[in-house]
Amino acid sequence: MAGHWLPALTFTVTPRPRNGQAGAEVVTPFRLADGRTLLVNRGWQAEGRALPVRLPAAPVVEVADWPRFITLGPTPPEGNRFQHVDAEAYAHWAGSDRPVGYAYAVASDGLVVDIPQPYLNAERHFAYMASWWGMTLAGAALWWRFRKGIR
């Protein structure tokens, strides 16, 4: 991938605890050769440690969908600390165009790389269906019981 890093615009997404330890995900923008920007999640780092300054010449990344999140109100960044990855908030903060995509670094020096994998478990959906059927049957039984008492 041709381009260059923009280390001055590195930000963290915090809080992101792992194994009971506080920390943050480190995101550094990568300017592509055509001028567009890609946000690269370089990995997780424990709180209190200095950000690694060594960046690979060309990152090896796995492109991902934009992370989904729920907010109950505006969540502006505090310095370079964001609560979640948001393309519009990043563009406003960095004073640049909206990034074209989001990716996870496959490997990173000094950071814990943990690319999330989708969890598609059929048993979970079966249990969910069974609980709804159970609630439906319980509701029907209660309706039947109380319907008799009304007459």
Checking 48-54 for CB contacts under 8 A at 24+ apart, the result is 51/10, 51/12, 51/26, 52/26, 52/108, 52/109, 52/110, 52/111, 53/7, 54/109, 54/110
Identify the band that residue 151 occupies on the pLDDT scale cut at 50, 70 and 90.
Answer: low
Convert the pLDDT of each residue in 103-127 to its tens digit. 998 877 778 887 777 667 777 788 8
Q: Is the pTM above the cut of 0.75?
A: no
Residue 145: per-residue pLDDT: 86
Convert the pLDDT of each residue in 19-60 to its tens digit. 889 999 999 999 999 999 999 999 999 988 887 777 877 778
